Amino acid sequence: MLFAALCTDNHGALQIRLDTRPTHVAYLDDLNARGILKVAGPFLGDDGKPNGSLVIIEAETKEAATAIFAEDPYAKAGLFASVEVKAWNWVFNKPE
């Protein structure tokens, strides 16, 4: 099953994002290598700077997905003001 994490950064937390990015990318690379990560990238504000994230993974349950998202270095560093985890159905342009 697929799950999306819609993450909103804390106001003024851009430096946390920049400082934590290398370990965040390494974490996502590991999820990708294990076939868990499907899609990921930042939301951008009107100023073009990142202000949140969208991460879509495959997991057995919402609880398992939530646990995976909680281990992301961004989450551990306190970057996010909120994280909403939702089941997601990939309908269009799904890679085979």
**23 in any annotated domain:** yes
Q: How many domains is the chain partitioned into structurally?
A: 1
**96 in any annotated domain:** no
Is the pLDDT confidence value at 75 over 80? yes
Residue-number span of the structural domain to which 21 is assigned:
2-88
Looking up residue 15, the CATH number of its domain turns out to be 3.30.70.1060
% the chain with pLDDT above 70: 100
The answer for residues whose C-beta is within 8 angstroms of residue 78's C-beta and 6 or more apart is 10, 13, 16
**29 in any annotated domain:** yes
Mean pLDDT estimate for the chain = 97
pLDDT tens figures, 23-40: 999 999 999 999 999 999
pLDDT band at 95 (very low <50, low <70, confident <90, very high): confident
- Give the model's pLDDT for residue 94: 87
**95 in any annotated domain:** no
Give the predicted TM-score (pTM) of the model. Answer: 0.93
